[in-house]
Amino acid sequence: MSDVTALDGSVTVTVPSSPKYLRIVRRVLEAYMEDLSLDPAELQHIILAVDEACSNVIKYAYAFDDTKKISVSVSDTTGQLEFTIRDFGKKPDVTSITPRDLDDVRPGGLGTHFIQCVMDEVSYDINNDVGTLLRMSIKYRVAETAEKVD
């Protein structure tokens, strides 16, 4: 069903391409990042951005075929989180991946806008024979903690 591996400070989770398994991805990411002392709002934004990217894989690369796999990796390189999302589905036309204008009010379609707002860098590697490797990174801030006053 799902598979989690840890190697050299990174964690990879592989799940079936069904929305119901994205909660496993979210929980693995939360567990990985819990010791980083991230601002709770920033943590949730990061997890939501990765979730949106995985949802796009399910919708566009796999056309809702839940028999496929999605692999999500995360690593921390001195204050920067790096994420990769690997699919083996239909390759996107990278030039057409643009956030919708926010003035275009209608349901859905804001995932790429949100991802671009949250992440510092986003790139799509379509050079593999099959599928896409999405790379995203963000420099994170450690949450401020209130000092204890005696």
pLDDT digits (tens, 9 = 90+) for 34-61: 988 899 999 999 999 999 999 999 999 9
CA 146 to chain centre: 30
CA 143 to chain centre: 21
pLDDT tens string 110-123: 678 889 999 999 99
Cα→Cα distances 126→13, 32, 62, 90, 136, Å: 21, 27, 15, 10, 15
Query: DSSP secondary-structure letter at 142?
Result: B
Query: DSSP secondary-structure letter at 143?
Result: P
Least confident of 6-10, 38-42, 43-47, 101-105: 101-105
> Strand, coil or helix: what is 9?
coil
Residue 95 lies in a domain: yes
> Can you give the CATH number for the domain in which 108 is found?
3.30.565.10
Count of structural domains within the chain: 1
Q: Which domain holds residue 71?
A: 3-139
